[in-house]
Amino acid sequence: MKQLKWIAGIAILVTGSTVVAASEPGYDRVAGRAHASRSEVIAPHAMAATSQPLATQVALDILKAGGSAVDAAIAANAMLGLMEPTGSGIGGDLFAIVWDAESKRLLGLNASGRAPKAMTLEYFQQHGIDTIPPYGPLPVSVPGAVDGWFELHKRFGRLAMKDILAPAIAYANEGFPVSEVIAQYFQSNKRRIGQYPGFAETYMPEGDVPKKGEMFRNPRLAATYALIADKGRDEFYKGSIARRIDAYMAEQGGLLRYEDLAAHESEWVTPVSTSYRGWDVYELPPNGQGIAALQILNILEGYDLKSMGFGSAEYIHTFVEAKKLAFEDRAKYYADMDFVDVPVETLISKPYADERRKLISAEKASLRVPAGDAKLKDGDTIYLTVADADGNMVSLIQSNYRGMGSGMTPGDLGFVLQDRAELFALDANHANVVAGGKRPFHTIIPAFIMKDGKPLISFGLMGGAMQPQGHAQIVVNMVDFGMNLQEAGDAARINHDGSSEPTGTTMTDGGVVHLESQFSRETRDALEAMGHTLGASDGSFGGYQAIMWDDAEGVYYGASEVRKDGQAAGY
């Protein structure tokens, strides 16, 4: 155990030291890998990769105690809800893709919550509201994460939930040192939502949000976790926790009620996929945006990206134009499939990509592109992945939306409620129009890759609209540019902003292309000459974690985001 802690410490040290050094001239990359900040982690039995080293260590502890990959993922998620409330927590939603080694099946779980029954288009019209606000009581939808935990556990769990949540409860009571990135996020969230009732009492007990290295306790969350561990998911949706949420939301003028919580349930879904040069990439179907990554890859498959070269203006232009096309479909079609007929099969098909690709000019940036004719019938975030000794792999993403969510911090429960309902449209003719009991368009997406019928990579990249762009870039980096698992995540990223949105806004003037600082001045000048508008290099480029199974050697590879505080570790 001492050796494992020592190795983990070195990994953290390398992460902290290379964030700056990686962009310095003459920096000596790891093992001759041009884009890598550090080596991949390799282990024979199990692997965990999260955005917080303490969460990774807890996941490994659960695995060593006989827990499954799902048990470890739930334990890590509970830890992140405590230690990274700036992007996750039980007030938010959850999605997961699970590789079940026993049945050799890939399964998906949609644990996103629905709009309150009272959240109707008529409500907003009657109150003269033409845009759902980002914060406060109105954008709160049912939090689905806790039900997601119990659905996953019922199917794949081995240890008792009391044992799974025990580490997070202990850290919540005893305290933990706040990491650097999270300390920065705390400050920005305080400015946005610090004024709402309950926030300061929970997250500013000493008068301010915690700073880097300061010990922080959340005994309120510890008590809530203990209730959930002792009494089960119904305590959250039908018991005392639900009633306290109901009372708080009624007091604040929100629409979420006890009946909405009591009616909630998650849904097991079948992941959908496309083949990209022999790699089968899987995402979950809408109400999430995962299929946008598949649409981007289908369009890109028609180009020789390898000959263009990573970092070239030609490649970046092609990628951005493919993204624009996929996101116009995203804005028009993606919605809760219980309410509208989303043409998923058409949208992710190769013939459809062939037609969309014809709209891309090799020399000029598009300022506005149409959604495709798919013949539709009428009608901050955390990512983690865990793999166990039996070959089970979990790709799990969980979020509040907009960092810490709505700002609604009910009573003494120790967490903030999400604001996902902000992503509904208020246009009666839009597929994503708000309706009581409907799931809003969702940004968080887990991913999985199969090759030759075998599990290969469980991965994800958090960060709003960056997520499908990031998923596609990770795949392209590995398949077309020959990068390894860590290098694919460390390589400089592209983030195009300004596409049309499922809320009803439309793209104008082609949007803005954000490039990380490693891209050359020559490349930037060439892109501007094509008509692209370039933005700041410090935009949101996401947070990546991944695990890869090497079937030939029988070992796992792990990778963790260099831009975050995270860690991949195994045993």
Catalytic residues: 381
Strands (E), 277-355: 279-283
What the block records as the tokens of 77 is 């998620």
**What Å distances lie between residue 208 and 64, 81, 204, 214, 415, CA to CA?**
38, 19, 5, 11, 17
How many Cα atoms within 13 Å fall on the side-chain side of residue 256? Answer: 33
Question: Which residue carries 């190795």 as its tokens?
Answer: 7
What residue has token string 């305080």? 190
Q: How far apart are CA 18 and CA 333, in angstroms?
A: 41
Q: Map tokens 């309150």 to a residue.
A: 116
CB under 8 Å, gap of 24 or more: what pairs does 197-206 form?
A: 197/248, 197/252, 197/409, 198/248, 198/408, 198/409, 198/410, 198/411, 198/412, 199/407, 199/409, 199/416, 201/409, 201/412, 202/409, 202/412, 202/414, 202/415, 202/416, 203/85, 203/409
Which amino acid is residue 493, in one-letter code?
A: R
Q: Which of 255, 226, 215, 22 is nearest to 116 (CA)?
A: 255
Residue 564 CA to residue 385 CA, distance in Å, equals: 15
Backbone torsions φ then ψ of 515, nearest 5 degrees: -125, 140
Whole-angstrom Cα distance, residue 424 to residue 328?
16
Q: Using CA atoms, how far apart are residues 163 and 368, in angstroms rounded to an integer? A: 53
What φ, ψ does residue 147 adopt, rounded to 5°? -60, -35
Phi and psi angles of residue 383, each rounded to the nearest 5 degrees, phi first: -125, 140
Q: Give whole-number Cα distances, 269 to 106, 141, 182, 348, in Å.
A: 10, 21, 33, 17
Contacts of 9 (CB under 8 A, 6+ apart): none
Secondary structure (H, E, C), 416-475: CCCCHHHHCECCCCCCCECCCCCCCCECCCCEEEEECCEEEEEEEEECCCHHHHHHHHHH
> What are the distances in angstroms from CA 298 to CA 197, 348, 357, 468, 502?
47, 7, 9, 13, 21
